[in-house]
Amino acid sequence: MLSKRIIPCLDVAHGRVVKGVQFVDIIDAGDPVEAAIKYDEQGADELCFLDIRASHESRDTLYHMVTEVAEHVFMPLTVGGGVKALGDIENLLHAGADKVSINTAALFTPELVKNAAERFGSSTIVVAIDAKRVEDENGGHWECFTHGGRKPTGINAVEWAKKMSDFGAGEILLTSMDADGTKAGYDIPLTRAVADAITANVIASGGVGTLEHMAEGLSAGRADAVLAASIFHFGTFTIRQTKEFLAARGIPVRLA
């Protein structure tokens, strides 16, 4: 049976991991290769690198980092941050990424997603959506936001996810800006609404604080994968502990 995927996410800037990775036996906490090897040993199903300082000058550093990581771990790598054009996607794929995540650029030029899916295949294109609950006369809906949840776009997040899926995105990396950083759990209604509306895979992100939250995202939220940063970075739980917990709940996971 197809396993649900557990994906640790690493924020990088200038080719270095920037959120505090506190693996006890790691020599250099900022080294993306060491962090990747550690997650590989724990049985992560995939790795996600997001360049949070994506600037034109730092692109080559990012490509170099992706190549380095791809030489050391043999699992799918998703890379995102500042992807604006087909050329950026091509460069990341050539560097060794398996999937490329497009965020803000998709909102400005939706055709980028369509063109990218046609050229590189749906399975390589991930669209990242940052969604936030907004009130309306019908009781509220989720809206796409940019700039870390500060700028509203007026675009309905569920409809947007549907459009991106129809445009050929293979996965939607769905982050709840309301839940992000709270450790109170994924936004389950949002995750479920998107998962039920689209044919693309859904990766739940934002808000995970306990293993129970992971289980909720995959069962009640119907996500295909869960992404988490801090609970893995700070060693609260290992990937293996997470998977053992999920397996005990009857959720299909790969126990490598």
Interactions with other proteins, residue window 115-154 (CB under 8 A): 121-123
Q: Least distance (Å) from other proteins to the CB of residue 73? A: 8
Active site residue 187: no
Q: How many residues bind other proteins (CB under 8 A)?
A: 37
| Residue 130 a catalytic site member | yes
200 sits near other proteins (criterion: CB under 8 A): yes
Q: Could you tell me the smallest distance in angstroms from the CB atom of residue 169 to other proteins?
A: 11
The region of 10-18, 107-115, 198-206, 229-237 touching other proteins under the rule CB under 8 A is: 198-206
User: 119: how many CB neighbours lie within 10 A of its CB?
Assistant: 13
- DSSP, collapsed to helix, strand or coil, labels residue 153 as strand
CB 209 within 8 A of CB 185: yes
Q: Does 2 bind other proteins (CB under 8 A)?
A: yes
Q: Which is closer to other proteins, CB of 91 or CB of 104?
A: 91
Q: What angle do CA 158, 217, 180 make, to 5 degrees?
A: 70
Element (H, E) at 108: helix 104-108
Q: Which stretch binds other proteins (CB under 8 A): 20-28, 102-110, 133-141, 218-226?
A: 218-226
Distance from C-alpha of 131 to C-alpha of 204, rounded to nearest angstrom:
11
C-alpha 18: how far from chain center: 16
Which residue in 1, 25, 56, 135 binds other proteins (CB under 8 A)? Answer: 1
Token pair of 222 as six digits: 């119907």
Query: By CB under 8 A, is residue 76 in contact with other proteins?
Result: yes
The phi, psi pair for 208, rounded to 5°, reads -70, 130
The count of residues in the chain is 256
Catalytic residue among 11, 45, 88, 224: 11
Q: How far is the CB of 150 from other proteins (least distance, A)?
A: 31
* Cβ neighbours for 151, distance < 8 A, ≥ 6 positions apart: 145
* The one catalytic residue among 45, 130, 180, 187: 130
Which of 58, 201 has the CB closer to other proteins? 201
Residue 215 contacts by C-beta under 8 Å, 6 or more apart in sequence? 245, 246, 249, 251
CA angle 74–79–94, rounded 5-degree value: 70
In the complex with other proteins, the residue whose CB is nearer, 81 or 170, is 170
Residues labelled as active-site residues: 11, 130
User: What residues line the site for other proteins (CB under 8 A)?
Assistant: 1-5, 40, 43, 45, 67, 70-71, 73-76, 93-96, 98, 121-123, 170-171, 195-201, 222, 224-225, 254, 256
